[in-house]
Amino acid sequence: MSAPTSRIKIPASALTWRFSRSSGPGGQHVNTSDTKVELICDLSQLHGEQSVLDRIAARYGTEIRVVVSSQRSQTQNRKLAYQNLTDRLEKAAKVPRNRRPTKPTWGSTQNRLDEKRKASMQKAQRRLPLDD
């Protein structure tokens, strides 16, 4: 099988394909072809950098299950399922960027305080006046 990224190799033995009937309209003897595709990838059989495999395992566990029945053709659904699998692996393999902590700008702080002040005044006007 092809590699979704240069760091991950998916052997054919890691993939299990299942086919079944797609749901949809139709009565008796209608839509009886097995076009729905279920692709199961055993993550323990993937090859690649250990740090990448650890990130994938932390996100998905032991296997990834992809189910596609959007197309009327089994071949197209197979392609979509494999593409979906590789997209998921690529996304999980990426190292998340660290967020640089920032402070709110002076203007946004002033806007927030102004809105709080307006809300407080509006609520104060709803209260009954105190009688002496």
Q: Are 88 and 63 in contact (CB under 8 A)?
A: no
pLDDT score for 33: 75
pLDDT score for 32: 67
Give the burial class of 56: count Cβ atoms within 10 A of its Cβ; 0-12 exposed, 13-18 middle, 19 or more buried.
Answer: buried
pLDDT score for 31: 55
Tell me which residue of 88, 80, 82, 98 sits closest to 56, measured CA to CA: 88
Q: Are 125 and 119 in contact (CB under 8 A)?
A: no
Domain ranges of the chain: 8-93
Q: Are 68 and 89 in contact (CB under 8 A)?
A: no
Per-residue pLDDT of the chain (132 residues; tens, 9 = 90+): 544 556 789 999 999 999 888 776 666 666 567 788 999 999 999 998 898 899 999 999 999 999 998 888 889 999 999 999 999 999 988 888 999 999 999 999 999 999 999 999 999 999 988 776
Tallying the residues shown for the chain, one arrives at: 132
Q: What CATH topology corresponds to 8-93? A: Double Stranded RNA Binding Domain (3.30.160)
Tell me which residue of 51, 23, 55 sits closest to 36, measured CA to CA: 23
Does this model's pTM top 0.85? Answer: no
pLDDT score for 117: 98
Between CA 119 and CA 109 the distance in angstroms is 15
Give the burial class of 89: count Cβ atoms within 10 A of its Cβ; 0-12 exposed, 13-18 middle, 19 or more buried.
Answer: buried
pLDDT score for 96: 85
pLDDT score for 81: 95
